[in-house]
């Protein structure tokens, strides 16, 4: 099965009628290959806590799905799957699909050397991301408004930081730039 090139898709399996019971298993008994490509808003295969069974799945490829951090919220059974191809960077497998996706995304996502952040993004990073994820960052620009404070907690995470730019802007300047 190939699913791709849809900028609006956020999940593959959606439940419009309400969740199924916990003891039910969603089976994809004959599916041998699953490719998810160029789905810029895809966050997961399914966000409900369902159990998925892929007894024949041998190949899983996820390419250019930057928001997809886990495959599914529930249990994913893939007894024949030996590796996941992620963004054409190689094949990985760390025991199960969700663990593999999480660990590989952590390694790949934050290998950047330059970053620009808004106050909302800084708050999210400080609350949700492990400290080691910014170890390679060399240059950081923070765009701020009058309502936020200097993000010292973020600076402490950036061990290789060489340049830091803190742009303080007022609400009037922001309105002027966007009008």
CB of 28 closer than 8 Å to CB of 53: yes
How far is Cα 134 from Cα 171, in angstroms, rounded to an integer? 29
pLDDT tens digits for the chain (179 residues)? Answer: 999 999 899 999 876 666 666 667 899 999 999 999 999 889 999 888 889 999 999 999 999 888 888 899 889 999 999 888 887 777 878 788 988 888 777 665 555 666 667 767 767 666 666 665 666 677 777 666 555 555 566 667 676 777 766 666 555 444 444 44
| Residue 155 Cα distances to 107, 124, 151, angstroms | 20, 14, 7
CB of 123 closer than 8 Å to CB of 153: no
How far is Cα 29 from Cα 54, in angstroms, rounded to an integer? 6
How far is Cα 70 from Cα 176, in angstroms, rounded to an integer? 40
């Amino acid at each position: 099965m190939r699913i791709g090139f849809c900028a609006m898709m956020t999940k593959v399996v959606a439940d419009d009628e309400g969740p199924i019971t916990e003891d039910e298993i969603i089976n994809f008994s004959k599916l041998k290959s699953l490719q998810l490509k160029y789905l810029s808003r895809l966050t997961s295969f399914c966000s409900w806590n369902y159990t998925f069974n892929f007894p024949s799945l041998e190949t899983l490829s996820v390419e250019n799905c930057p928001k997809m951090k886990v495959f599914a919220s529930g249990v994913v059974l893939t007894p024949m799957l030996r590796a996941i191809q992620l963004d054409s960077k190689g094949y990985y497998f760390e025991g199960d699909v969700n663990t593999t996706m999480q660990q590989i995304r952590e390694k790949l996502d934050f290998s950047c050397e330059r970053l620009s952040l808004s106050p909302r993004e800084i708050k999210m990073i400080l609350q949700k991301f492990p400290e080691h994820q910014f170890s390679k960052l060399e240059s950081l620009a923070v765009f701020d408004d009058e309502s936020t404070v200097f993000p010292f907690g973020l600076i402490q995470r950036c061990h290789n930081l060489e340049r830091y730019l803190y742009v303080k802007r007022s609400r009037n300047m922001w309105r002027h730039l966007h009008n």
